[in-house]
């Protein structure tokens, strides 16, 4: 009985994380054409999804790598401080 309850809990948790994370990513994608901070919202959604899904964790790592590259490029050009 306990095993069934645990399995149900794990499945429900995974579904909730998928729905919430997917919704945040979808809102972020919509913000690419609508007003809003899409480049902040999409990684937040990926972070939520990365709690349960390995593919989202890999994507989030790629986003972090690309973002760091962009920050480094701005710093090399002598751009404004990002603080």
Q: pLDDT of 37-68, one tens digit each? A: 999 999 999 999 999 999 999 999 999 999 99
Residue 6 pLDDT grade (very low, low, confident, very high; cuts 50, 70, 90): confident
Q: Domain total for the chain? A: 1
Q: Please, which residues have CB within 8 angstroms of residue 52's CB and are 6 or more apart in sequence? A: 13, 14, 17, 18
Residue 82 domain flag: no
Residue 81 domain flag: no
Residue 41 domain flag: yes
Residue 42 domain flag: yes
Residue 59 burial by CB count (10 A; 0-12/13-18/19+): exposed, middle or buried?
middle
Residue 55 domain flag: yes
Residue 83 domain flag: no
pTM: 0.79
Q: Which domain holds residue 27?
A: 2-76
């Amino acid at each position: 009985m306990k095993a069934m309850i645990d399995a149900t809990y794990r499945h429900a948790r995974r579904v909730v994380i998928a729905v919430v994370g997917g919704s945040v990513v979808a809102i972020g994608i919509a913000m690419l054409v609508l007003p809003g901070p899409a480049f902040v919202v999409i990684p937040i959604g990926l972070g939520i999804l990365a709690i349960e899904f390995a593919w989202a964790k890999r994507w989030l790592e790629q986003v972090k790598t690309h973002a760091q590259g962009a920050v480094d490029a701005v710093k090399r050009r002598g751009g404004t401080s990002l603080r």
